[in-house]
Amino acid sequence: MTDATLTHATPQGTSVTTEPRLFRWLLTGTVLALMAVLLFAPLLVVFVEALGDGIAVALQSLAMPDARSAILLTLTVAVIAVPLNAIAGIAAAWAITKFEFRGKAFLITLIDLPFSVSPVVAGLALVLLFGANSTFGAWLVANDMRIVFAFPGIVLATMFVTFPFVARELIPVMIEQGRAEEEAALTLGAGGWRVFLTVTLPNIRWALLYGVLLCNARAMGEFGAVAVISGKIRGETTTMPIMIEMLYNEYLSVAAFALAAVLALLALLTLVLKSLLEWRHAGLLAATRRH
Amino acid sequence: MRSLSLRAPSAMPGFGISFGILMAVLSVVVLLPIAALLGRGLLIGPADLWDMVNSRRIGNALVLSFRAALVAALFNLVFGLALAWVLVRYEFWGKRVIDAAVDLPFALPTAVAGIALTTLYAPSGVFGQALAPFGIQVAYTELGIWTALIFVGLPFVVRTVQPVIAELDAEVEEVSATLGAGRAHTLRRVVLPTLTPALLTGFALALARSVGEYGSVIFIAGNIPNLTEIAPLLIVIRLEEYDYDAAAAIGIAMLFISFAMLLAINLIQIWSRRRIGLV
């Protein structure tokens, strides 16, 4: 507020709380130029390469059996992994924000752990636990439960890398909202589930959507962890990012970039929805993003 | 009595079920696999583990991953600060779009970023051709790895520093100016120290992310052993050779680097909270 009145009181460019006009122009120009080179050029080249031979060729390559099965697999994995992580994230936020217990800070660190572990290391860890090389894994294989180089492994790898998203978004929001409303509902005789569904959930719905949105974007695009655990069996365990790698390495550039363009469109859609949420419901999202 | 129980009494229902769901999913998905990796390390033994990590190829890969991540995070430290400052303090056309676009590297799958950057910087690509007369080759050299890691780590510093700049008290800068400080002096001695904890947090987050990055790097790196072969790629190579011990050794080394950085981030935050009560 004081900032606004100040800039009005003094002519543009001479305020003591801003930099000289030439400096402002140079800095803005440099930053925008770097954004163009570092971010917009790579995004643009995806669409240019995908449509290089015309949109018909791009669509045709998306209709090929390999591409179709990759799209279907990626969607199926997300449909299973994202809701499971949403449930775990809600449970985590409830346990952490509604109760006091020992080791809470350590538990939060464990929830955040996947963000600082390399996706490849995550895939490796899953292979070592569930793969045929371990006792447990050998037992699983003997009982006809394949996890590594199969669908369940891809789901687990995806869940590993996206585990923190929902909890991390919900915890600050639920801490800020406190427990008073839930306690009032309990006093009035509502049961636990009813309190959650009619009091908590409406309060956290936008934050939950925000977390799910980020979780989904990462789930559909995950590469490193899935690359390790999927075994890259063509048409069976090849998700869209894995298929992009295979096509690219086979010099099928248009097909690779056509699939990449689909994921890039999904990323753009995610950014648009995310920005809409930030503009419309800023007050109901995690405090760190309010600016 | 109370000090004996692990949980303080509460009227809230649902501790058992929420804690149970959390621990079940967390254990199966994250904790047990990590334990299996560390367990494998114990079976190999510390001496053999150390020998493997110390071998030329693995050592080079680990050093390269860390060095490239450091260069990229340093670039993003400076660029991220400039970008956050411009986004909060200056007005220009299309600001909202630029602000939203900062998160593109979070949303765009790494494999997509990888093939796009490679196409741009390859000798036949738009940027590759433009840089060739200057004798600069980006693709298939360490420069390419830096480029990919700069892309991946770009949002971290911006997103940690931006809210702190937004909450800066303009009066402090006014006072500094009234007391005779020039703008440059105010920025360096008054504003920058306030931003330091957020800058360090963003830097550490970008570094942690870049050290383990795989998808965006492997296409542009060229993957020449000892030169442009990053540690995560070497894990994939060892796994494809069914050399689980070597893969586990690299994985454990990377895990320890991650833990060290996680610890550093937490220490920075504790330090900054004590110092100025921010973040």
User: pLDDT digit string (tens) for B89-111?
Assistant: 999 999 999 999 999 999 999 99
**Closest in A160, A192, A228 to B239, CB measured:** A228
Contact A31 B82 (CB under 8 A): yes
Contact A125 B33 (CB under 8 A): yes
Contact A128 B244 (CB under 8 A): yes
In chain A, what's the furthest Cα-to-Cα distance?
79
Q: Is B181 on the interface with A (CB under 8 A)?
A: no
CB A17 within 8 A of CB B174: yes
User: pLDDT digit string (tens) for B234-270?
Assistant: 999 999 999 999 999 999 999 998 888 878 877 887 8
Give this prediction's pTM.
0.91
Number of domains in chain A: 1
**Closest in B6, B117, B183 to A19, CB measured:** B183
Would residue A93 count as lying in a domain?
Answer: yes
Q: Which site among B31, B34, B96, B157 would you substitute to test the A interface, given the most A Cβ atoms closer than 10 Å to its Cβ? A: B34
pLDDT confidence band for A9 (50 / 70 / 90): very low
* pLDDT at residue A247 greater than cutoff 60: yes
Q: Is B7 on the interface with A (CB under 8 A)?
A: yes
Could you give the CA distance from residue B12 to residue A91 in angstroms, rounded to a whole number? 14
pLDDT > 90: percent of chain A: 77
Would residue A155 count as lying in a domain?
Answer: yes
* pLDDT at residue A6 greater than cutoff 60: no
Q: What is the pLDDT of residue B175?
A: 85
Would residue A30 count as lying in a domain?
Answer: no
Nearest chain A CA: its distance from B18 CA (Å): 4
Superfamily of domain covering B33-275:
MetI-like (1.10.3720.10)
Taking CB atoms within 8 Å and a gap of at least 24, the contacts of B222-229 are B222/B139, B222/B140, B222/B141, B222/B144, B224/B140, B225/B57, B225/B60, B226/B56, B226/B57, B226/B60, B227/B60, B227/B64, B227/B142, B228/B64, B228/B140, B228/B141, B228/B142, B228/B144, B228/B145, B229/B57, B229/B60, B229/B61, B229/B64
Domain with residue A253: its CATH number is 1.10.3720.10
**Closest in B8, B127, B170 to A6, CB measured:** B170
Q: What is the pLDDT of residue B272?
A: 76
What does the DSSP 8-state code read for residue B11? S
Sign of CA dihedral A127, A130, A136, A137: negative
Token readout for A36 is: 């163009």
Q: What is the pLDDT of residue A4?
A: 45
Per DSSP, the residues of A107-160 read HHHHHHHHHHS-HHHHHHHHHHHHSTTSHHHHHHHHTT---TTSHHHHHHHHHH
User: pLDDT digit string (tens) for A192-222?
Assistant: 899 999 999 999 999 999 999 999 999 999 9
**Regions in chain B scoring below 50 on pLDDT:** 1-3, 279
What is the 3-state composition of chain A as percent helix, strand, coil, each rounded to the nearest 5? 80, 0, 20
Task: Give residue A98's domain range.
Answer: 56-289
Q: Which residue of B has its CA nearest to A20?
A: B183
Q: Is B247 on the interface with A (CB under 8 A)?
A: yes
Q: What is the pLDDT of residue A11?
A: 47
- What contacts B211, CB < 8 A, 6 or more positions away? A118, B65, B66, B69, B231, B254, B257, B258, B261
Could you give the CA distance from residue A184 to residue A93 in angstroms, rounded to a whole number? 20
Contact A42 B113 (CB under 8 A): yes
Q: What is the pLDDT of residue A8?
A: 45
Would residue A2 count as lying in a domain?
Answer: no
In total, chain A counts a number of residues equal to 291
ipTM: 0.92
Lowest mean pLDDT among A36-40, A136-140, B148-152: A136-140
Would residue A43 count as lying in a domain?
Answer: no
Q: Is B93 on the interface with A (CB under 8 A)?
A: no
Q: How far apart are the first and last CA of chain B?
A: 36
User: pLDDT digit string (tens) for A77-91?
Assistant: 999 999 999 999 999
Q: Which site among B79, B89, B106, B108 would you substitute to test the A interface, given the most A Cβ atoms closer than 10 Å to its Cβ? A: B108
Q: What is the pLDDT of residue A289?
A: 52
pLDDT (average), residues A40-62:
95
pLDDT (average), residues A158-173:
96
HEC sequence for B70-120: HHHHHHHHHHHHHHHHHHHHCCCCCHHHHHHHCCHHHHCCHHHHHHHHHHH
Domain boundaries, chain B: 33-275
Would residue A197 count as lying in a domain?
Answer: yes
